[in-house]
Copies of this chain bind each other. A is one copy, B any other.
Amino acid sequence: MTDDLRPAGTPTLEDVAKAAGVSRATVSRVINGVRNVDPVIQEAVRRAVALTGYAPNRAARSLVTRRTDAIALVVSGAGVEPEPEAEETAPPADADGAEAGGGASFTGQVFADPFFGRVVTGVVNYLRPRGMHPVLMFAETSRAREDVVSFLRQGSADGALVVSTHAEDPLPGMLTDAGLPAVLYARPARAARISYVDVAHQDGARLAAEHLLARGCRRIATITGPLDVPAVQERLAGFRDTMARNGHPYIAIAEGRFTQESGEAAMERLLTEHPDLDGVFAANDLMATGACHVLRERGKRVPEDVAVIGFDDSSAASACRPPLTTVRQPVEAMAAEMARLLIERLSKPEGAATSVIFEPSLVVRESA
C-alpha cells in the first residue's frame, strides 16, 4: 500500500540487490558466506534480505552448483520379484493403501521392523545440521530400482544411501555401473567397488554364544535370518564357531525371515525337534520376540527354562516381555557414518571405496 516498488512474486536476488543498492553478485556472496565483503555492505544486504523476505531458489542454485543437497535414502528389496511380493505378515495390511496396490505389502512390512526407524534417525541427525535432506524411496521391484537410478541421474539427489533387505540386490551394482555415488548399509553379497558400513557380525554372535554358555545353557539352538544374506551367514558362523570351541560341535538351526511371525514358526520347529533346549539365539529382535511368545505358550519360562538372545537392540527388544537380552548394533551411528561417507565421496569423487565396521555390544536385560 505504501511504496509498491517491490515486485509481485517471491523476491529474487535481483530484488534484494536493488533494495540494498548493490549488485546481485554481492548479495549472493553475502548469502553464501563468501569472505571479502565489506561488513557495512553485509549488514545492508542482511537488512534487505529481511525486508524483502527473500529466500534463495534452490532450483536455480542447484542448476549452477550441480548439487541438490538432497540424498536418496533407499530401502531396497529382493533381487528377483515374482511381481508384487506375495508374502506378508498382517493380513489386513493391504486392505487399503491407495490404488497403488503393488508394493504396499513390502513397504508395510519393512517399516514394521523398528530397525529402519533407527536408520532414518541416524541419517536425519547427520544430514540436518548440514542443510541436507533425505528423500525416501523404496526399491522392491525392478521398475522401482530403475526409478531410483533415473532419479539420481536427473540430479534430483546427490547420491544414495541404500539399505538392502535381501541378498543379491541388483541396485548397488546398477548404481555403481551408472557412476552414481552410493553407500550401503551392510556388505553386499556380490563384491562391488562400493563403500559400506557394517557391524562385526561374528563378534556379535560370539558375544551371544559366550553369554549363553556362561549362564549355563547346554542345549542351544539358533534362529537365523534368510541364509542367502551374508550378514546372516556371518552371524551363524560366529555363533557356531564359538560353540564349537566350547565343546558344542552341533547346533540346531531354524531359518526365519526376520519377521516376528517367522520367528514363532522357527521356534515351534525347534521345539518339536529339541523339546529340551535351554538356550536360543535369534538373528534379530523381532524373531526373538516371536520365540519368546511361543516358548511361553509352550509353558517354558524365559529365561529360567530357556534363555533367549536377540540381535539389533531395536525397540522391539525393550518392548518384549521379558525385555530381551540382545546384541546391540549401533545403528544410528552406522547410519550417520553412511551419510558421512557419502558426503565425503561427493566432495572427492575419485576417492576409493571404503568400509567401516562397527563393534556390537551385548545388552543384558532379562531374557538371558
Binding site for B on A (CB under 8 A): 10, 55-60, 62-63, 68, 70, 73, 89-90, 92, 95-100, 103-104, 107-108, 110-112, 114, 116-118, 120-122, 124-126, 128-129, 133-138, 144, 147, 150-151, 153-156, 260, 289, 293, 296-297, 313, 315, 318-319, 321, 328, 330-333, 336, 363
Contact between A117 and B121, CB atoms less than 8 A apart: no
Contact between B108 and A118, CB atoms less than 8 A apart: yes
Contact between A136 and B134, CB atoms less than 8 A apart: yes
Contact between B117 and A111, CB atoms less than 8 A apart: yes
Inter-chain contacts of A289 with B (CB < 8 A): 319
Of B10, B111, B147, the contact of A120 (CB 8 Å cutoff): B111
Of B10, B116, B154, B315, the contact of A56 (CB 8 Å cutoff): B154
Contact between A97 and B336, CB atoms less than 8 A apart: yes
In the bound complex, how far is the Cα of B264 from the Cα of A196, in angstroms? 39
Copies of this protein, total: 2
User: Smallest distance from the beta carbon of A69 to chain B beta carbons, Å?
Assistant: 8
Contact between B96 and A332, CB atoms less than 8 A apart: yes
Minimal Cβ-Cβ distance residue in B for A292: B321
Contact between A108 and B121, CB atoms less than 8 A apart: yes
Minimal Cβ-Cβ distance residue in B for A63: B59
Q: Knowing A56-B154, A89-B318, A111-B114 are in contact, say whether A100-B128 is a contact too (CB < 8 A).
A: yes
Contact between A108 and B296, CB atoms less than 8 A apart: no
Contact between B111 and A112, CB atoms less than 8 A apart: no
Q: Knowing A89-B315, A111-B120, A125-B103 are in contact, say whether A60-B63 is a contact too (CB < 8 A).
A: yes
Inter-chain contacts of A156 with B (CB < 8 A): 58, 70, 133
User: Smallest distance from the beta carbon of A239 to chain B beta carbons, Å?
Assistant: 23
Q: Knowing A108-B121, A321-B293 are in contact, say whether A328-B57 is a contact too (CB < 8 A).
A: no
Inter-chain contacts of A297 with B (CB < 8 A): 321
**Would you give 8 A-B contacts (Cβ < 8 Å), ordered by A?**
A57-B63, A89-B318, A97-B121, A97-B336, A98-B125, A108-B332, A111-B114, A297-B321
5 further A-B contacts with Cβ under 8 Å, apart from A70-B70, A108-B118, A111-B117, are A98-B122, A98-B125, A107-B121, A112-B315, A260-B319
Inter-chain contacts of A104 with B (CB < 8 A): 121, 125, 332
In the bound complex, how far is the Cα of B114 from the Cα of A92, in angstroms? 14
In the bound complex, how far is the Cα of B62 from the Cα of A154, in angstroms? 11
Inter-chain contacts of A60 with B (CB < 8 A): 59, 63
In the bound complex, how far is the Cα of B125 from the Cα of A133, in angstroms? 20
Q: Knowing A118-B108, A136-B120, A151-B133 are in contact, say whether A336-B90 is a contact too (CB < 8 A).
A: no
Contact between B133 and A136, CB atoms less than 8 A apart: yes
In the bound complex, how far is the Cα of B298 from the Cα of A58, in angstroms? 58
Inter-chain contacts of A333 with B (CB < 8 A): 96-98
In the bound complex, how far is the Cα of B134 from the Cα of A110, in angstroms? 17
In the bound complex, how far is the Cα of B133 from the Cα of A144, in angstroms? 12
Contact between A153 and B55, CB atoms less than 8 A apart: yes
Minimal Cβ-Cβ distance residue in B for A101: B125
In the bound complex, how far is the Cα of B71 from the Cα of A339, in angstroms? 21
The 7 closest A-B pairs by CB, nearest first: A111-B117, A98-B336, A96-B333, A97-B332, A59-B62, A55-B153, A112-B315
Q: Knowing A57-B154, A58-B156, A330-B95 are in contact, say whether A318-B117 is a contact too (CB < 8 A).
A: no
